Structure formats: C-alpha cells, structure tokens
Chain A
Amino acid sequence: MSDENFSAEAPVTGQGRMDVAWGANTGDESPEHGQAATTAQSGEIFEQHYTPWTGQLNPRWMRNWSILRHHLLGIFRKGHRPWTMPTRIFILIAFIASLADAGMTLLSGLVGSSEFHALFGVSRDNLYGHVLGFFPRNVLYYPLVAALLVGGVISEDRQHGTSALYFSRPVSRFDYVGMKFLSVALIQALVVLITYVLYFLAEVVAYGRGWAWMVDVFPMFLSGFLAGMLLIFTYTSIGLSLSSVSTGRFFPGIGLLAIVFGTKTLASIVKNLFDREILYLISPYDCVAHVGQAIIGTQTTYDQYSWTYSLVALVAMNALALYVLASRVASMEVTRE
C-alpha cells in the first residue's frame, strides 16, 4: 500500500473497515491472491549435522576400568561420579585423623622420647590398633566412611534409572557389581590401608629403621594389612547389599551403622550381664577384630571361643551379604526400574 493512501487528501472510503469485516477483496475479480506478510526471519544458528564415527571400541578391561575410574576420580574431581560434598569432606577428615599415629611417631622421633615411642610407635598392638582399634577408628572413622560410600552406590542407580545405562551397554552384571565393590573398597583402603602404610613408613623415617628391622616386622605388618582388608571387605559387602535393596542413600548408610554398632552393643550387654561372649559372633566388627587379633598375635578380647568361630561367622556374614547383593543386582531392570 502506497503512502498516498494515508495522506490527508486521501478520500475516506471505509475500505479498511470493509476489509476487516468481510475479508480483503483481492482475488474476487482477478485471479491474483493476497499474501500475508511473511514472518520475520530470525536467523538459524543451529544446523543439525550427523557426524559418523568409525573408531574401534576397546575390550572388557577398558569398560571395567572406566567404571572404576568414574567412581575413584569422583572423590577428587568434577566430571566423574558426583560423590556428595559431606562424603568428600569426611573422607579427608578421616584420612587426616587416621594419620594421627604416624604424626605422633614422627614427633616421638624428633623429641627422642622412648615413652612417647612406646605409646605411638610401631608395635604389634599399635599396628592392630591402626586398623582394628575400636575407639576412635572403628567408631568415628571407618564405619562412617563405609556408610557414606555405600549409601548411594547401587541404590542411586535404582533411584535414577542409571542401571539402564550400564546394562544396555556391554557391561555384565558381574562386572558392574565387581567394579562398584572394588571402587568402594579402594576408597576405604585409602583411609585404612594407605594411612597404615604411611604409619609404617613414618617409623622407618623417624627412627632410621633398616632392612633388618623391616624384614623382622614385615609379617606383623602384613597381618595387619590382611586384617584391614578383611575389615574393608566385610563393611563393603554388607553395605553394598543394603544399597542394592534400597532406592536412596540414607537407608543403606544408617543400616550399615546400625548393624555394626547395634550388634556390637548387644554383644557387650549380653557379655556384661550374663558373662557369655557367644553373641559377638553376630557382630561383624567383633568377628573381624577377633580374627585380626589372632593373626597379628595380640591379646584376644574374646577368649571363651576360638578365633576360628569368628572366621566362620565372618565367612557366613559375607556370603549372605554377597548373595543378597548378587540376587538384587540380577533383578535390576533395563527397560524400567
């Protein structure tokens, strides 16, 4: 429409109102057609383009490594498994606190006090105490670290449906659960066993221990290491079995703590009231401690029964936990959870 139509001299025809009421009259007489103004071109930035990929997929070990890496690096870096901030902070606190005996050993070396060294330096009892001492390590550090770790490892896969991400890919259930188990166990090992090794090295550094001493003490050290592995294995298997039957991180964590501390408390009450120690066989911590005391060679806490009873109880507990874990993971769905 030209500008002159809107000039002051243009006659008032009412054509505009007619057009609104009846529609434009273009095309009534001649075959030309009116065309609505096209919508403004906004510009297309996104261009969809499929890029093929011709690379080779790596074999099983690489897939398993990726699961392990995802969980382990998540403790330190963003972009991997998002462990919660409280979990990461508590692991750091537990790690530093677990190094207390190493620090004290270094200090005793600097001060040169033999009494101080007798209290904190490497000895049969102190090696036992580093991994299996009840207070503070197995009250404040290790079970809490285990509880925080196992809480969401499998249960959150159920909760978020991310199990489908694993099982719709060439990952078997054995590999899935195996790598999750190993991841949780390795993070615990960072707190329990790495600090144990550092404690041992602190003694070597602070007192200038030579090969003869190291070879002499090594069987004791190895026994403590094995006891630590047994502790980690037991906490992990019980914790993951609880995680596998849950869809949140709260129940497995609290459940593990309830089992560890509840059974221990019950065994203590029964022992004090009735002078019978048999109930310690239901306590995972007591059983590991008993076996640990036996293999390291310290004074056993429970002496009414042989340590082999504890070993059998431990095997039974772990077998039951692993059975629950395996059967629950086997039932995890791909199509819906």
Chain B
Amino acid sequence: MEDEPIIQTTELTKAYGPHIALDNLNLSIPRGATGLLGQNGAGKSTFLKTILGLIQATSGDGSVLGYDIRSQGIEIRQRIGYMPEYDALNPDMDAIHQVRYSGELLGMNPVVAMNRAHEALQFVGIGEQRYREIGSFSTGMKQATKLACAIIHDPDLLIADEPSNGLDMKAREFMISTLNTMVNEANRSVLMASHLMDDVERVCENIILLHKGALAAQGKIEDLKAIDREIEIHVWGGATRLEERLTGQGFRVRREGRVMRIAHTEDDTTTAILQAAAEVGAQVRRMHEYEASLEDLFLAIMDNLGYSVKSSDDLLRSPIEARRVDAPESLGGGAS
C-alpha cells in the first residue's frame, strides 16, 4: 500500500476544441514530495483540475489515492488538501473562522472544525494572530492561512500551488520548513507546483516537468540530475580554442565566459579535457565535478526540447512568452 503511487494517469488527454491542454500523460507519482514544473500554459492548472475531478478528461484514465478521477471527484477532494496560488480568503473574516469554515465545507462538525482550526493555525505559525482579520495579514500570513485551510482535515495529499510565491526570505524559509515537516515528520504527501526551483529542490524528491501539455521529464531529482553530470573548468586564455577543440572531439560544452561545463560522458573525460587544454595552450586553473541544480536540469531539458533560455524565469514567469509558445495559432500563439 505504501508503495502504491498516490497519483497515476494513463494516456490522460484533455482538449479544449483544437487546443490540447494535456497530451497523453502517463504519470506515476509516488508518496512523498513531488514538484510540478512547467511553463505558464504548460498544462499544470489543467492537470490539477483534472486530478481534482473538476473537469472531465477527454480521454485516458487516472486515479488519485486510489479514487477514479472521472467518477470519484468528491471522494478525491475529501482526501486531499488544496492550497491555491491566488487569494482564496475572505479579508473581512478572522483567520480562525475562515479555517473553521473551510473544515466545515469538507463535512466537519463545527465544534471539531474549530478545534482543528486552532491546531492547524498553530502548526503554520500564526496561532497568536488567529483572531485577527485576514485583511490585515501580510502575504506570508495569508499563505499560512491558506495552508491551514488545506490541512485542517489532515489530508493524505497536499496540493500546494506556488506555496512560497511572493514571500519574503523569512516567511519563505518557514513555508519550506513547514512543508518539509509535513513530508518528513507527518509522513504526508505533497504535490508542489512552483517556479522557484530552489524551493522545489528543498522540499521535493521527485519532479514532473510538463511542456505543452506533454510529459517532458519525470522521476527522482537525483536520478534526473545524474543524466547530465558535468565537469566545470575555469580557463585562463584560449577559452574559445579549447571550446572548439572539445566540441570537435564530440564533447557537449556549455560556456559562460571563461567558465565551461563539459558533459561527463566517459571515464577519461578529465584526461581528455587536460590534453585538449595542453594542445591549444589554455590554462585550466580550476577543475571540479559540477553538481547540477534543479535549475540546470530544467534548462537542460528545455534545451533538449529546442528552447534557448537563460533561466527558468524566462519561461516560468512570463505569461506573454508562454502564450506565444503554447497558445493555438487561432489565438495568436505558436510563434516559436
């Protein structure tokens, strides 16, 4: 039972007319924390709505916590906690009553919901402010209140949409540590959609990368990083000559000024680099195995898909760019 995936889809497709929002998704998300990545318009929201049973898939099947996404949406939404990205709180209500009401909407008895609201707000760190109006809260406190609303019924799976979005450093740290506590101490599963790669990497063991509605990558972050192991060298003089030589020898080289990262393809890659440097007269002043971050992994995958982007922000934060990439031609998209 523990090994069973919490979310599983088989050839899941969702089309809005001619626009394919989800394209034959075959996913298997294990227990634990999983990051959901993708550009704006990649299909993340559609995916979340589909697995919540709020919209019907055009074809394919899926299950969440063993419940069918086509016919058991109510059961799914009872067992999961959803923390939306955008404001979802009444600014004129106290935090405690807002959280209690969210519990009542799940079917909790009002007295039980009130007790749990106290516990949930204490857990997310705003127990002392629970009788304050939400309208007077900072962004971090609002995010914490949304999290409390999502976990009031102790869900098996927490779906957090951009949980650390717009938070200052302290609030962000607290949100990350809270999610980590949910996963590691409370033994709950988290599906976290975020464009902040660092946060995803700190919380999640697994990622799913969607692109244009299709699955671009899926698996453990560590395993995926291993695909693109690289050696980083700092060169003094002759960097271009060295880059050309290494490329000519069939190595994949990424270069930023005099820093180069060469794909670690064979055991003697190091020797080959030093030999090439000696031949072209370039000094290698520093050499070490480069530990890729999730950001690098994302860029490498996007590179493989044919996008030349400098950082994930280029794609994840720009709705205009995303629209250009993903919208159907009839809506002015498809330019790239």
Find residues 278-319 in chain B having any chain A CB closer than 8 Å to their own CB: none
A-chain residues with CB within 8 Å of residue B154 when the two chains form the complex = 52-54
Instruction: Given the known inter-chain contacts A63-B105, A160-B89, A161-B86, please indicate yes or no for A53 contacting B149, CB distance below 8 A.
Output: no
Count A interface residues, CB 8 Å.
41
Contacts of A336 in B (CB 8 A): 45, 84-86
Cβ of A219 under 8 Å from chain B: no
B87:A160 contact, CB within 8 angstroms: yes
CB-CB contacts of B145-164 with A at 8 A, as 1s and 0s?
Answer: 00001000110000001000
Residue B5 at the chain A interface, CB threshold 8 Å: no
Complex-state Cα separation, A171 to B87, whole angstroms = 19
B107 contacts A48, C-beta separation under 8 Å: no
Evaluate whether A165 and B149 lie within 8 angstroms (CB atoms) in the complex, with A50-B185, A62-B107, A66-B105 already known.
Answer: yes
A57 and B153 within 8 A (CB): yes
Chain B 173-187, CB-CB to A under 8 Å as 1, else 0, gives 000011001100110
A167 near B153: Cβ-Cβ < 8 Å: no
Binary contact readout A69-111 vs B (1 if CB under 8 angstroms, 0 otherwise): 1100000001110100000000000000000000000000000
Given contacts A58-B107, A58-B108, A63-B107, contact A156 B178 (CB under 8 A): no
Q: How large is the interface on B (under 10, 10 to 19, 20 to 34, 35 or more residues)?
A: 35 or more
B123 A162 Cβ-Cβ under 8 A: no
With A66-B105, A168-B84: A335-B149 Cβ-Cβ less than 8 Å: no
Q: Which of B45, B78, B101, B181 is close to A335, meaning CB atoms less than 8 Å apart?
A: B45
Q: Give the docked Cα–Cα distance between A265 and B177 (Å).
A: 63
Q: Are B104 and A48 in contact (CB under 8 A)?
A: no
Contacting B at CB under 8 A, from A24-75, are 46, 48-55, 57-60, 62-63, 66-67, 69-70
B105 contacts A334, C-beta separation under 8 Å: no
Binding stretch for chain A, among B6-14, B16-24, B46-54, B246-254: B46-54
Q: Is B70 an interface residue (CB 8 A)?
A: no
**Chain B residue nearest in CB terms to A58:** B107
- Whole-angstrom distance between the alpha carbons of A168 and B160 in the complex? 12
A165, A168, A170: the one contacting B107 at CB < 8 Å is A170
Q: Is B241 an interface residue (CB 8 A)?
A: no
A134 within 8 A of B: no
Q: Tell me whether B334 is interfacial, beta carbon within 8 Å.
A: no
Which residues of B are found within 8 Å of A69, using beta-carbon distances? 104, 110
Residues of chain A within 8 A (CB-CB) of B186 are 50, 52
Please tell me which one of the listed residues B49, B94, B106, B109 contacts residue A169 in the complex, with CB atoms under 8 A apart.
Answer: B106
A-B contact count (CB 8 A): 123
Give bound CA distance, A337 to B101, whole Å. 21
A59 touches B107 (CB 8 A): yes
Alpha-carbon distance between A165 and B94 when the two chains are bound, in angstroms: 15
Tell whether B93 is near chain A: CB-to-CB under 8 Å.
yes
- Kindly report which residue of chain B lies nearest to residue A156, judged by CB atoms: B90
- Do B78 and A70 touch (CB < 8 A)? no
B181, A57: Cβ atoms closer than 8 Å? no
Which residues in B have their C-beta under 8 angstroms from that of A166? 105
CB nearest neighbor in A for B80: A168
Report A131 CB to chain B, min CB distance, Å: 32
Using a CB-CB cutoff of 8 Å, which residues 61-115 of chain B contact chain A?
73-75, 77-78, 82, 84-94, 97, 100-102, 104-110, 112
CB neighbours (8 Å) of A164 from chain B are 82, 84, 86, 88
Within 8 A of B (CB), among A274-331: none
Most buried by A among B74, B84, B106, B177: B84
Contacts of B30 in A (CB 8 A): none
Known: A79-B97, A335-B45. A66 touches B123 (CB 8 A): no
- B119 is contacted by which of A51, A78, A168, A337 (Cβ under 8 Å)? A51
1/0 per position for B211-249, CB-CB distance to A under 8 A?
A: 000000000000000000000000000000000000000
Judge whether B90 and A50 touch: CB under 8 Å: no
* A108: min CB distance to chain B, Å: 44
Chain B: minimal CB distance from A120 (Å):
41
Cα-based distance from A19 to B9 in the complex (angstroms)? 65
CB-CB < 8 A to B93: which residues of A? 79, 82
Q: Given A160-B91, A170-B78, A335-B49, are A80 and B97 also a contact pair (CB < 8 Å)? A: yes
Would you call B84 and A335 a contact (CB within 8 A)? yes
Sample of 7 A–B contacts (CB below 8 Å): A57-B108, A70-B101, A163-B88, A165-B149, A168-B77, A170-B74, A334-B82
Other than the given A79-B93, A82-B92, A82-B93, 4 more pairs (CB < 8 A) read: A57-B107, A63-B107, A160-B87, A170-B106
Sorted nearest first, the 5 A-B pairs with minimum C-beta distance are A66-B104, A57-B107, A168-B82, A53-B154, A82-B92
What is the interface of chain A, defined by CB distance below 8 A to chain B? 46, 48-55, 57-60, 62-63, 66-67, 69-70, 78-80, 82, 156, 160-172, 334-337
